[in-house]
């Protein structure tokens, strides 16, 4: 069965349970797929959720995939994201990276307080530190060989925009609790779904398209008259969706069946 017979082929499990999707599962060794499964993969017009393991191979073979290769390559890669934002001219807080031999240069470039992040593994606000003095800086540097240092942007809230195929499906303001500088719900922040600024949505849409992130949650802060993109989250939380009574799998299914999941569907 292939795409032109009414079924879509997926590798990862994100769409498992959707009747129109045949989920094959991830097998690290491609020959472990049966001859029939390999035929289904090669005949499919698009491969859904190919996983990082196969996204690059399918792209090299000229097969369409969802989400995009870029969505996989920049996931949990803050250094790469920041570099990409700067190269594309996307407004982003001043950020610099310091390898171990250059840690001494941090205080030449930044004044307290500033933000230090773990370049990876900093989801849900974990691995993000507001650094006020040299002792806190030293504690942070003990956690990482590559220092990711960013200007601290004073704010009471940020904007999370979830986009699927470059179009917002949900946006909400995340408001900081009194005793924290992070807006994440896991860090005590709260959600507000009202009065979402259209300019923020436009900035998120523009960033997603330029970066080719077509399944992403973008975090933005409005500062000094413009929207700054803080980071891209490919493993965005589902809490906001659940609070709004939205089912991500059903949203994906509707977009899949309507053709809206692809910019130029061939199926």
CATH number of the domain that residue 175 is part of: 3.30.470.20
Q: Which residues of the chain have pLDDT under 70?
A: 1-6, 121-125, 178-189, 263-267
Chosen domain end from 48, 67, 86: 67
- Cα 105 from Cα 82, distance rounded (Å): 19
Task: Please report whether residue 181 resides in a domain.
Answer: yes
| Amino acid 180: pLDDT | 58
* pLDDT reported for residue 262: 78
Assess if residue 121 is contained within a domain: yes
Q: Is the dihedral of CA 223, 227, 229, 234 positive or negative?
A: positive
> What pLDDT was estimated at residue 186?
53
| Number of domains comprising the chain | 3
- 151, 166, 190: which is the final residue of a domain? 151
Give residue 122's domain range: 94-151
Do 190 and 124 belong together in one domain? no
- Residue 127 sits at the vertex; the CA angle it makes with 103 and 113, to the nearest 5 degrees, is 55
Which is it for the CA torsion 123, 124, 127, 133, positive or negative? Answer: positive
Helix (H) or strand (E) holding 168: strand 167-175
Residue 126: inside a domain: yes
Is the residue at 214 inside a domain?
yes
**78-88 helix and 198-211 helix, angle to the nearest 10 degrees:** 100
């Amino acid at each position: 069965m292939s795409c032109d017979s009414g079924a879509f082929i997926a590798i990862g499990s994100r769409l498992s349970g959707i009747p129109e999707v045949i989920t094959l599962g991830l097998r690290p060794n491609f020959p472990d797929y049966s001859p029939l499964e390999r035929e289904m993969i090669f005949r499919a017009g698009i491969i859904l959720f190919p996983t990082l393991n196969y996204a690059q191979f399918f792209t090299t073979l000229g097969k369409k995939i969802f989400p995009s290769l870029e969505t996989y390559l920049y996931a949990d890669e803050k250094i790469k994201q920041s570099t990409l934002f700067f190269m594309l001219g996307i407004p982003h807080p001043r950020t610099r990276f310091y390898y171990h031999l250059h840690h001494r240069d941090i205080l030449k470039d930044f004044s307290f307080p500033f933000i230090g992040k773990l370049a990876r593994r900093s989801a849900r606000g974990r691995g993000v530190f507001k650094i006020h003095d040299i002792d806190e800086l030293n504690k942070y540097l003990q956690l990482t060989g590559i220092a990711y240092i960013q200007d601290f942007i004073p704010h009471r809230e940020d904007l999370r925009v979830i986009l699927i195929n470059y179009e917002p499906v949900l946006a909400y303001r995340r408001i900081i609790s009194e005793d924290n500088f992070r807006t994440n719900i896991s860090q005590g922040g709260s959600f507000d779904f009202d009065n979402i600024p259209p300019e923020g949505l436009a900035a998120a849409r523009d960033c997603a398209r330029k970066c080719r992130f077509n399944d992403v949650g973008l975090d933005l802060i409005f500062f000094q008259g413009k929207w700054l993109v803080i980071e891209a989250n490919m493993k965005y939380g589902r809490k906001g969706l659940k609070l709004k009574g939205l089912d991500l799998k059903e949203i994906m299914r509707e977009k899949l069946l309507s053709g809206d999941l692809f910019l130029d569907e061939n199926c």
